[in-house]
Chains A and B, each alone.
Chain A
Amino acid sequence: MSEKIVISPTSRQEGHAELVMEVDDEGIVTKGRYFSITPVRGLEKIVTGKAPETAPVITQRICGVCPIPHTLASVEAMDDSLDIEIPKAARQLRELLLAAHDVNSHAIHQFLIAQDVVPADLMVTAINSVSEIRKNAQYVVDMVGGEGIHPSDVRIGGMAKNISEVARKRLYARLKALQPKLDAHVELIIGLVADVGFPEGLGVTTAPALATHQLYGDRTKFDLERFTEILPESWYDDPEIAKRACTTIPLYDGLNVEVGPRARAEVYHGFKDKGVVAQHVARAIEMKAALSKAIDILAELDTSAPVMADYDIRGTNKLGIGAIEGPRGMDVHMAQVNDSKTQFYSALVPTTWNIPTMGPATEGFHHDFGPHVIRAYDPCLSCATHVIVVDDEDRSVIKNEMVRI
């Protein structure tokens, strides 16, 4: 006899999602469906018709966990649409910003899974370690991006300002000092994940890995021809779920894909392991790579070099693509500029790629492991948090159809 286990909303996540698992008599998941119940964002519509500079400022508000990738993807899309070649130092600063953000964001992710993998006696150690890493990584974001959460200095055409030589040396010294701490942290996390004893094969999917770059993002590796987008009605075989799901289903070569640190590791480093443990391990290892990269950039950055290109804001209606490898995966923004206004804007955010993959990843194991699988892949849905109340009087849309908390 099949039973249905519903977790709504899934916990220790940013945003609201629902995990519906059909289970057999032993409680083993036979069919997993994961979908976002956070209603329409509409941010792409907000920026349409406005000056191109509006887009990065508005779209970075898509998420407070992931503001840097959204800002970068947005300016990269605009750069592409306006045919701007940004100066080398600007590119370095952007890469530095993302690398630092990666370290910070992965640490947040580890904080969110701490309850799952850290025993009580080590909890304080683990949380302190996370805090220490975040503090240092955010210090870099503060200085390079201008603001710690929503960076003000990332601009179309480059960056608003280069950092000073003092700041460069200071950041370099600070990140160098962080390196042994991060190494210890990564070792701690990998060890703790191994100690949990997750069953072999948990969270493994057949979805192909999609990534455009080891750490930064490369629009030339994202082929728009191979991308299609379908409505939830054509994806979820349960009409009730299809009706309530709030995201479209993006496909690459007609298939749902996996994005994120493990996908990047598979595509660029031949990382073979899959599943929950592999997700945590790949994420932890990527922190080291990102920190090394940040240090390398700081070692060679020319702080007197220009960071802003000259450009013509009017545009030619070219479809610009910005592909950025955010902590949770590939974040693609697309923009068209003509007559100095954004004519079209669309964002394909990391979690949207992962959503159709995460549900089936719960299959074949006891439903108790379901949330572990979800959190291993992606702890946020905030790419989709902007509520629209259709009927202010009875608030029926929210109560009956959307977010049931």
Chain B
Amino acid sequence: MVLGTYKQIVHARSTDKQIQKISQDGGIATGLLCFALDEKIIDGAVVAGPSDEMWKPEPTVALSSDEILAAAGTKYTLSPNMWMVKEAVRQYGLEKAGIVTIPCQTMGLRKLQSYPIGVRFVAGKIALDIGIFCTENFPFESLKTFISAKAGVDFSLVEKMDIGKGKFWVHTADDVISFPIKETHGYEQSGCKVCLDLVSELSDISTGSIGAPDGWSSVLTRTEPGETIFSQAVDAGLIETKPMDEGKFGLEMLTKLAKSKKEKAMKEIDQRKELGLPVPYKASSEKEDPLANV
């Protein structure tokens, strides 16, 4: 099962025009967090908010819809959201915290909840984890470097970045430049090379653009709370859904990419293991399903 355990998988998008305008794809993370906040399912959320520097996100505790909206859209660089989890429930006083995580952070979050060493009373106060699909992530300097080198645009002129159809897209005010995603290889952080998780398998709800038509997201609901919040948001009319496209550009593509990420990572893990390097995963010979995220 390369997509992890899930209850349902659909295409979805936020019906809110404002969210549609600023979000990366279907605006699911933004829409769900705003909904959960309004319904008091969460009382705040750790998100990748804006910082003083363009395109450099900063882990932020959002306490209002405005702050959540300010964090909408994907930034293709690291935002160590786990770093704010403890602060969110301590100094910010959240009792039911929401959080947006990429797969590595999702794993970190679940580990923190399973072994709450140094995070007393934190584990039980995480109410909702929205996991984002992720193939790899880039350190900020990497991102800056390859955008100016490959796209030939000044970093400060970039208005949106996107990955799709095998390409990295850079939107400026009057131009759209793209280059093959392959050309970004070597710029990603090295940990991504051993990551077995594309779809945030341990989150409450996973979402991302892979396998979805433009302007829509693919959504997997995984846990009881995740399923409940998602269906409530759908019932409230804030999110519209349509059945998952099972075809070549839908589920098939998502499965294919998730599988190939795992296969590539497993190769690297086995290689590193052979060299005696520390890797926080089992070698393929040590587990029943060589693609399992363990």
Pick from B87, B93, B121: contact of A166, CB below 8 A: B93
Contact indicator per residue, chain B 92-127, by CB within 8 Å of chain A (1) or not (0): 111100000000000000000000000011000000
Contact in complex: B91, A164 (CB < 8 Å): yes
Determine whether B220 belongs to the interface, using a CB cutoff of 8 Å to chain A: no
Q: Say which one of A140-148, A190-198, A347-355 lies at the interface with B.
A: A140-148
Contact in complex: B92, A167 (CB < 8 Å): yes
Contact in complex: A164, B63 (CB < 8 Å): yes
Contact in complex: B90, A166 (CB < 8 Å): no
Determine whether B197 belongs to the interface, using a CB cutoff of 8 Å to chain A: no
Determine whether B136 belongs to the interface, using a CB cutoff of 8 Å to chain A: no
Contact in complex: B93, A143 (CB < 8 Å): yes
Instruction: List the A side residues contacting B91 at CB < 8 Å.
Output: 143, 146, 153, 161-164, 167
Contact in complex: B43, A166 (CB < 8 Å): yes
Contact in complex: A171, B93 (CB < 8 Å): yes
Pick from B43, B61, B90, B120: contact of A143, CB below 8 A: B90
Q: Smallest CB–CB gap between A164 and chain B, Å?
A: 4
A146 to B120, CA, bound (A): 11
Determine whether A314 belongs to the interface, using a CB cutoff of 8 Å to chain B: no
Determine whether A221 belongs to the interface, using a CB cutoff of 8 Å to chain B: no
Q: Smallest CB–CB gap between B151 and chain A, Å?
A: 39
Contact in complex: A146, B93 (CB < 8 Å): no
Instruction: List the B side residues contacting A166 at CB < 8 Å.
Output: 43-44, 63, 92-94
A147 to B43, CA, bound (A): 21
Instruction: List the B side residues contacting A45 at CB < 8 Å.
Output: none
Contact indicator per residue, chain B 63-100, by CB within 8 Å of chain A (1) or not (0): 10000000000000000000000010011111100000
Chain B residue with minimal CB distance to A169? B93
Instruction: List the B side residues contacting A143 at CB < 8 Å.
Output: 90-91, 93
A127 to B43, CA, bound (A): 32
Q: Smallest CB–CB gap between A120 and chain B, Å?
A: 32
Contact indicator per residue, chain A 122-165, by CB within 8 Å of chain B (1) or not (0): 00000000000000000000110011100001000000011110
Contact in complex: A146, B44 (CB < 8 Å): no
Q: Is the interface of B mostly helix, strand, loop or mixed?
A: loop
Q: Smallest CB–CB gap between B60 and chain A, Å?
A: 12
Determine whether A386 belongs to the interface, using a CB cutoff of 8 Å to chain B: no
Contact in complex: A142, B121 (CB < 8 Å): yes
Contact in complex: B43, A146 (CB < 8 Å): no
A162 to B92, CA, bound (A): 9
Determine whether A50 belongs to the interface, using a CB cutoff of 8 Å to chain B: no
A148 to B93, CA, bound (A): 14
Contact in complex: B90, A170 (CB < 8 Å): no
Chain A residue with minimal CB distance to B118? A147
A146 to B119, CA, bound (A): 10
Pick from B61, B93, B120: contact of A170, CB below 8 A: B93
Instruction: List the A side residues contacting B90 at CB < 8 Å.
Output: 142-143, 146
Contact in complex: B120, A163 (CB < 8 Å): no
Q: Smallest CB–CB gap between A178 and chain B, Å?
A: 16
Pick from A147, A153, A167: contact of B93, CB below 8 A: A167
Contact in complex: B120, A164 (CB < 8 Å): no
Q: Smallest CB–CB gap between B217 and chain A, Å?
A: 29
A170 to B89, CA, bound (A): 12
Q: Smallest CB–CB gap between A146 and chain B, Å?
A: 6
Instruction: List the A side residues contacting B87 at CB < 8 Å.
Output: 161
Chain B residue with minimal CB distance to A159? B91
A167 to B91, CA, bound (A): 7
A148 to B43, CA, bound (A): 22
Instruction: List the A side residues contacting B43 at CB < 8 Å.
Output: 166
Instruction: List the A side residues contacting B92 at CB < 8 Å.
Output: 163-164, 166-167
Instruction: List the A side residues contacting B95 at CB < 8 Å.
Output: 170
Instruction: List the B side residues contacting A170 at CB < 8 Å.
Output: 93, 95
Chain B residue with minimal CB distance to A162? B91
Instruction: List the A side residues contacting B120 at CB < 8 Å.
Output: 142, 147-148
Contact in complex: A164, B61 (CB < 8 Å): yes
A164 to B44, CA, bound (A): 12
A163 to B61, CA, bound (A): 12
Contact indicator per residue, chain A 348-371, by CB within 8 Å of chain B (1) or not (0): 000000000000000000000000
Within 8 A of B (CB), among A172-230: none
A168 to B95, CA, bound (A): 13
A162 to B87, CA, bound (A): 11
A153 to B63, CA, bound (A): 22
16 CB contacts below 8 A, A to B, read A143-B90, A143-B91, A146-B90, A147-B120, A148-B121, A162-B91, A163-B91, A163-B92, A164-B63, A164-B92, A164-B93, A166-B43, A166-B94, A167-B93, A170-B93, A170-B95
10 tightest A-B CB contacts, nearest first = A167-B93, A164-B92, A170-B93, A166-B93, A161-B91, A163-B91, A143-B90, A143-B93, A167-B92, A146-B90
List chain A positions with a Cβ less than 8 A from chain B. Answer: 142-143, 146-148, 153, 161-164, 166-168, 170-171
